[in-house]
Chains A and B, each alone.
Chain A
Amino acid sequence: MKPSSMIASPIPESSPAEQRLLAEIERLLVPFARATGTGLAYCGSAAPVWLAGCDACPCSRRPGETPACLAGPSPSSRTERDCRALSCETGRLLVCAPASQPGLSDAMEQLLATIDRQSALEQQEEQLLDELSASWESLEAVYEISSDLGLLTTPEELLERIIYRAAAYRTGLKAVLWLERDGIGHPLTQGVTGLAPRPMKNGLIGQVMAERNGLILNGGDRIASHPHLEEELRGASNLAVAPLTTRQHIVGALVVWQEEANGEFDSHDMRFLSALALQAAMVIENDRLHRAELESERLRQEIEIGSKIQQILLHGQIPKAFPRIEVAALSIPSRMIDGDFYDFIKPHEECLDVICGDVMGKGIPAALVGAATKSAFLRALSQLLSTKGLWRLPEPHEIVSRAHDEVVNQLIALESFVTLCYARFDLTMHQVQIVDCGHTATVRYRPETGACDLLKGVNLPIGFYEDEVYEQRAYPLAPGDLYFFYSDGLTEASDEAGEAFGEARLMEIVRRNHDLGPEALIAEMHRELIEFAGREALGDDLTYVAVRVLPAAAPSTGLQILSDPRNLGRCRQFAREACQALAPAAGEEIVSELELAINEAVANVMEHAYQEREDQPIHLTAAIEKDRIAFRICHQGRSFDPATAPPPAFDGSKDGGFGLFIIAHLVDEITYDTDAQGRHTVTMIKTIPGGNHGSNA
Chain B
Amino acid sequence: MEAMLETVETVTIFHLPGESLDAGNAKEFKRDILPALTGHSQVIFEMSGLKFVDSSGLGTILSALRQLNANGGDLKLAGMQKPVRALFELVRMHRIFDIYNTRDEALAAFQQ
Contacts and interface: CB of A to CB of B under 8 A. Distances in A.
- Of the candidates B58, B65, B91, the one having the most CB atoms from chain A within 10 angstroms of its own CB is B91
Interface in B1-40: 20, 22-25
B70 interface: no
A662 to B, nearest CB: 6
Nearest to B66: A652
Interface stretch (A51-59, A243-251, A433-441, A593-601): A593-601
A654 B86 CA distance: 20
Interface residues of A, number: 31
A268 B52 CA distance: 50
A666 B83 CA distance: 12
Interface in A173-195: none
A650 B59 CA distance: 12
B54 A569 contact: no
Contact of B23 (A592, A606, A653, A662): A606
A599 B84 CA distance: 13
B41 interface: no
Given A652-B65, A652-B96, A568 B59 contact: no
Contacts of B82: 592
Contacts of B90: 662, 665-666
B65 A662 contact: no
A599 B22 contact: yes
Contacts, number: 71
Given A568-B24, A569-B24, A603-B23, A658 B55 contact: yes
Contacts of A572: 20, 52
A662 B83 CA distance: 13
Interface in A618-677: 648, 650-656, 658-659, 661-662, 665-666
B93 A652 contact: yes
A655 B22 contact: no
Contacts of B23: 565, 568, 599, 603, 606-607
Contact of A569 (B22, B83, B95): B22
B53 to A, nearest CB: 9
Interface string A562-580: 0011111100100000000
A118 B2 CA distance: 32
Interface in A21-76: none
A592 B83 contact: yes
Interface in B91-106: 91-93, 95-96
Contacts of A595: 52, 83
Instruction: Kindly state the interface size class of chain B when it binds its partner.
Output: 20 to 34
Interface string B45-74: 000000010111011101101100000000
A606 B82 CA distance: 27
Contact of A655 (B25, B60, B86, B92): B60
B56 A603 contact: yes
Given A565-B23, A569-B22, A656 B66 contact: no
B25 to A, nearest CB: 8
Contacts of B93: 652
B86 A592 contact: yes
Nearest to A661: B91
Contacts of A662: 55, 87, 90-91
A565 B92 contact: no
A595 B83 CA distance: 10
A282 B90 CA distance: 75
Contact of B54 (A566, A600, A648): A600
27 contacts: A566-B25, A568-B22, A568-B54, A569-B20, A569-B22, A569-B24, A592-B82, A592-B83, A595-B52, A595-B83, A596-B52, A600-B54, A606-B23, A648-B91, A650-B91, A652-B93, A654-B62, A655-B59, A655-B60, A655-B62, A656-B55, A658-B55, A659-B55, A661-B91, A662-B90, A665-B90, A666-B90
Interface of B: 20, 22-25, 52, 54-56, 58-60, 62-63, 65-66, 82-83, 86-87, 90-93, 95-96
Given A566-B25, A650-B95, A656-B55, 10 more contacts: A568-B22, A569-B20, A592-B82, A595-B52, A596-B87, A603-B56, A652-B66, A655-B62, A661-B91, A662-B90
